[in-house]
């Protein structure tokens, strides 16, 4: 009975914490983006503008929930939910600290990759269902982008899997007791970082959205909380990729003095900040540039990394 | 690759840069004295309305936002019965101020005129008229113009000579 209660508590706790962080990121991103661009950002509502999140939530929940008459209604409604659901499902296998984990799947990493691949359906379907040329272009770009990065994203993680000898994220974290995988798997880290930006559809790879070219890309026709779902999904994606980087390459919860959970949050927060810093810095490439970069540069590098890692592990193991 | 990281670093150094935003309501911007802002109607040093209701401002206004009606008091001074400026139309070009022969209409360094309701942007004479002389403290139109009004006949103003009757031959 206790075990059931604990696991339910963990599920609810993870859900709440992750959603609160994702909502808080609205404020954090706007403040830090402003800091790095020599502005102030939201600073009116509450101390340091912190209540901006609440104002945004109230606004977005009370907005008219408009479905365009020309849209494909069922798909139009389902699409925003898909992205949130897939990203939240991925959090089920993230080990936040010893014992604080929703499910210790032995195929954890594969599960995350599968869910992230499903997530792109949301964007592609939203673009299709909106029945709007900009949305459709955004959806097409999302699909093309997915073909570009998804392959080397999986490949870049295989080095970690070889070193840890497991797909379970908990075992991967525990395998980094002696040395964090960011050192032996540095190429893998860079590859995954770039793939992560594309996966989270963030600048520099926010190509499906591309405000300056496609109005708002796949969510041009969305308003109210449906748009909010895409928004939350994007921030959840950032948190997920940051948590994955922390768990796969930076020893997850391990660290001196501070409690494990705090270490995990610190590491995750660092990479969230990196996402925001990158948004403040980089321009957006064309999507054919991303696709050819993915296939011609990143995929060979990922394969090379995989072969070299495999060879070394084989040589050392014997 | 290194250049990308360098770009990230440059952006990061902006954490300690001074922010360029001016926090407006707390920190008011400097407005030069000739700023073309909210329009006022001024009074002469004697406290009388300067406006003589000549319609020149209304004629000069490129967006037709000024409406007035001339009338005359018992002393013979012309003044506007009503004077109305629709600030939702006004483009603050300052042509009215240039056209005004009596320095009555003036633009002031003030732009905080927001209203929640559009019709509140229509200013009537009591909203426009101020108690002071505005930018020209000593100017009094009726004292320098050769127009006769009650208490001052033609030629009795400052820098004026009495009128000469050209049909009279005596020196």
- Please tell me the distance in Å from A157's CA to the nearest CA on chain B: 20
Backbone φ and ψ of A123, nearest 5°: -70, -45
* pLDDT exceeds cutoff 70 at A1: no
Instruction: State the pLDDT at residue B106.
Output: 92
- Please tell me the distance in Å from B92's CA to the nearest CA on chain A: 30
Instruction: State the pLDDT at residue B40.
Output: 92
CA-CA-CA-CA torsion sign (B1, B6, B11, B13): positive
B3 and chain A in contact, CB less than 8 A? no
Q: What is the mean pLDDT of residues A212-238?
A: 85
- In angstroms, the Cα distances linking A224 to A32, A75, A228, B118, B139 are 25, 17, 6, 28, 60
Using CA atoms, how far apart are residues A112 and A109, in angstroms rounded to an integer? 5
Are A243 and A254 a contacting pair, CB within 8 Å? no
Q: Which of A35, A40, A278 is facing B8, going by the closest CB pair?
A: A278
* pLDDT exceeds cutoff 90 at A158: no
DSSP A200-243: TT-TTS-TTT-HHHHTTGGGTT--HHHHHHHHHHHHHHHHHHHH
Instruction: State the pLDDT at residue B161.
Output: 78
Q: What share of chain B is helix, strand, coil (3-state, %, to 5)?
A: 20, 15, 60
Instruction: State the pLDDT at residue B84.
Output: 92
- Please tell me the distance in Å from A206's CA to the nearest CA on chain B: 17
**How far is C-alpha B94 from the chain's CA centre?**
8
The fraction of chain A above a pLDDT of 70, given in percent, is 99
Bridge partners (DSSP) listed for residue B39 = B107
Instruction: State the pLDDT at residue A147.
Output: 81
Residues of chain B neighbouring A34 (CB-CB closer than 8 A): 19
B-interface mutation test, from A44, A202, A277, A279, most B Cβ less than 10 A away: A277
Helix/strand number for chain B, H first, E second = 5, 5
Residues of chain A neighbouring B24 (CB-CB closer than 8 A): none
Backbone φ and ψ of B32, nearest 5°: -65, 155
Cβ–Cβ gap B11/A280 under 8 Å: yes
Starting at the edge strand that comes first in sequence, how are the strands of the sheet with B66-72 ordered? B66-72, B78-86, B122-123
Residues contacting residue A150 through CB under 8 Å, at least 6 positions apart: A113, A116, A117, A120, A195, A199
B13 and chain A in contact, CB less than 8 A? no
Q: Which of A40, A278, A282 is facing B23, going by the closest CB pair?
A: A40
Cβ–Cβ gap B14/A37 under 8 Å: yes
Instruction: State the pLDDT at residue B59.
Output: 92
Ordered per-residue pLDDT tens for chain B, 171 residues? 788 888 888 888 888 888 888 888 888 888 998 899 999 999 988 888 888 899 999 999 999 999 999 998 888 788 899 999 999 999 999 999 999 988 999 999 988 888 899 999 999 998 889 988 888 888 888 887 777 777 777 777 777 777 778 888 877
Instruction: State the pLDDT at residue B41.
Output: 92
Q: Average pLDDT of chain A?
A: 85
For A190-211, write each residue's pLDDT tens digit.
888 888 888 888 878 887 777 7
For A216-228, write each residue's pLDDT tens digit.
778 888 888 888 8
Residues contacting residue A162 through CB under 8 Å, at least 6 positions apart: A306, A309, A310, A313
Cβ–Cβ gap B14/A38 under 8 Å: yes
Residues of chain B neighbouring A274 (CB-CB closer than 8 A): 8
Instruction: State the pLDDT at residue B105.
Output: 92
**In B35-74, which positions are buried (b, 16+ CB within 10 angstroms) versus exposed (e)?**
bbebbbbbbbeeeebbbbbbebbbebbeeebbebeeeeee
Instruction: State the pLDDT at residue A318.
Output: 63
């Amino acid at each position: 009975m206790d075990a059931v209660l604990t696991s339910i508590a963990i599920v609810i706790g993870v859900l709440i914490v992750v959603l609160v962080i994702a909502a808080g990121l609205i404020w954090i991103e706007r403040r830090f983006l402003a800091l790095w661009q020599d502005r102030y950002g939201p600073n009116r509502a509450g101390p340091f503008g912190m209540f901006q999140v609440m104002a945004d939530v109230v606004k977005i929940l009370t907005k008219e929930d408009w479905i365009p008459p020309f849209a494909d209604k069922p798909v139009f409604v389902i699409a925003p939910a898909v992205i949130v659901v897939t990203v939240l499902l991925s959090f089920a296998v993230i080990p936040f600290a010893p014992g604080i984990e929703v499910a210790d799947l032995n195929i954890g990493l594969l599960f995350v990759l599968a869910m992230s691949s499903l997530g792109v359906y949301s964007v592609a379907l939203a673009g299709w269902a909106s029945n709007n040329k900009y949305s459709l272009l955004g959806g097409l770009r999302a699909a093309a982008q997915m073909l570009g990065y998804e392959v080397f994203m999986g490949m870049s993680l295989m080095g970690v899997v070889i070193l840890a000898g497991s797909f379970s994220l908990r075992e991967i974290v525990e395998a980094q007791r002696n040395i964090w995988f960011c050192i032996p798997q540095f190429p893998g880290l860079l590859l995954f970082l770039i793939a992560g930006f594309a996966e989270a559809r963030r600048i520099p790879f926010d190509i499906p959205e591309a405000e300056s070219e496609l109005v708002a890309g796949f969510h041009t026709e969305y308003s109210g909380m449906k748009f909010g779902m895409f928004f939350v999904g994007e921030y959840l994606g950032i948190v997920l990729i940051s948590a994955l980087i922390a768990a796969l390459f930076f020893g997850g919860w391990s660290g001196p003095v501070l409690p494990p959970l705090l270490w995990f949050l610190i590491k995750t927060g660092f990479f969230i900040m990196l996402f925001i810093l990158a948004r403040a810095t980089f321009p957006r490439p064309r999507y054919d540039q991303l696709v050819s970069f993915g296939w011609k540069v990143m995929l060979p590098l990922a394969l090379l990394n995989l072969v070299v890692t495999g060879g070394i592990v084989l040589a050392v193991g014997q | 690759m290194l250049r990308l990281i360098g770009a990230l670093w440059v952006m990061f150094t902006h954490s300690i840069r001074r922010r360029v935003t001016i926090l407006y309501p707390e920190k008011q911007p400097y407005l030069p004295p000739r700023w073309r802002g909210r329009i006022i109607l001024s009074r002469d040093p004697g406290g009388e309305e300067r406006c003589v209701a000549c319609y020149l401002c209304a004629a000069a206004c490129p967006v037709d936002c000024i409406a007035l009606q001339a009338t005359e008091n018992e002393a013979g001074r012309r003044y506007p019965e009503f004077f109305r400026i629709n600030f939702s139309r006004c483009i603050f070009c300052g042509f009215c101020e240039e056209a005004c022969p009596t320095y009555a209409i003036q633009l002031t360094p003030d732009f905080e005129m927001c209203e929640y309701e559009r019709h509140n942007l229509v200013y009537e004479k009591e909203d426009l008229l101020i108690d002071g002389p505005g930018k020209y403290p000593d100017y009094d139109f009726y004292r320098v113009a050769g127009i006769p009004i009650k208490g001052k006949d033609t030629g009795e103003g400052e820098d004026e000579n009495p009128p000469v009757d050209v049909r009279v031959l005596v020196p």
